[in-house]
Structure 1
């Protein structure tokens, strides 16, 4: 894909959604961190249904730690992999208290050292909570980047590196949100809604639908 076409795609996505953000509900970097940790292999909707009950009761590392693993499970049992996520969340809260004065660190290495937090989760927190120009690549972003040929790659790490290389600075903070929403609602996995796509004429996907 050439530079001019890529720029037009990004411009249209920006014009359509000038102030994008995550669909996860949060009111602090800590709430965002826990929500993203819980969202692995789960939908944002399912996480929001759990955290809307959890956060009024416990929305600090100390408060969630006080719940304990079993107490936390009662709030997140509707989320996939809740047993492992409960254990990781409790361990993460303990580390935040002991190592970071209960504050979510604005540091990639420190974030990735937390149990259950990988590169993608760290990227989301750095981008959404702190405004870093990071790009967290999930299955939606990987699909959109490869289908459109915006930033094709063999795996999510390849796609992330390509996006960081080809996306102009003015778009980097928001492109993660534009692409994930586009993949979630328009460029869906089984049958993309090409007829409703604002970048359909620029997309280089060969198997478009009407």
Structure 2
């Protein structure tokens, strides 16, 4: 790859994020929460579940238990009653209660602003920690889920064979001014436009910049 190719790729990436920012200047997670603790619980629940299903479950859950103490008082069966519509709810319920105990024992009931401390909590992996650090604390992290992994590789914004490789490539390739919001733009783009089975290329605002080799054509009856 020539230096000129590298410069062009950097220019293309910048144009992509300029367009995403222009279309959505203030992107936000679609999870509904009122505190950092609620965000942490919602993200734990969102593993292998849709944000919509999580929001439906947490509407009642957070009305009854919005602190670590209240969650523990709810108990495992009480917690399961609220989240049983979410996949892996048994494991998630146990992890949430253990996490609440750890928050009280080690962090005065507060969600820590530290990756190592977050990842030490039961049910919290790197992706969950990245979401909390970015959304709650304003850290320029990349929470690479299936949507971001697909979009980053498909568009060639940042290629990698593993989520961690894509995360590192994004942190290296995304211009600094876009780092704070990049993971929100990419996840929303993957959720609503760059779909897994059939990307909506005809409706994509970065279609001319994307380097995906198998773009879909508009339907024959499209106006």
Specify if TM > 0.5.
yes
Distance in 2 of aligned mates of 1:176 and 1:65: 32
TM-score by length of 2: 0.93
Work out which of the residue numbers 186, 197, 207 in structure 2 matches 1:179: 186
Q: Deviations over 1:84-120 (max 9, x none)?
A: 0000000000000111000000000000000000000
Give the drift of 1:73: 0.2
- Please report the TM-score for the alignment, with normalisation by the length of structure 1: 0.99
* Off by >6 Å, runs of 4+ in structure 1: none
Quote how far apart the aligned CAs of 1:155 are.
1.1
1:49 corresponds in structure 2 to: 56
CA distance in structure 2 between the aligned counterparts of 1:190 and 1:139, rounded to whole angstroms: 13
| Aligned pairs, number | 210
RMSD: 0.6
Q: Which residue does the alignment assign to 2:220?
A: none
Q: 1:25 aligns with which of 23, 32, 43?
A: 32
Q: Distance in 1 between matches of 2:55 and 2:137?
A: 21
CA displacement at 1:169 relative to structure 2: 1.2
Cα displacement string for residues 23-70 of structure 1 (whole angstroms, at most 9, x for unaligned residues): 000011000000000000000000000000111110100000101111
Structure 1, unmatched stretches of 5+, are: none
Q: Highest Rg: 1 or 2?
A: 2
Paired residue for 2:42, among 1, 21, 35?
35
Q: Does residue 61 of structure 1 match 2:71?
A: no
Q: State how 1:25-174 maps to structure 2 within 5 Å.
A: 25-174=32-181
In structure 2, what is the Cα distance between the partners aligned to 1:108 and 1:158? 18
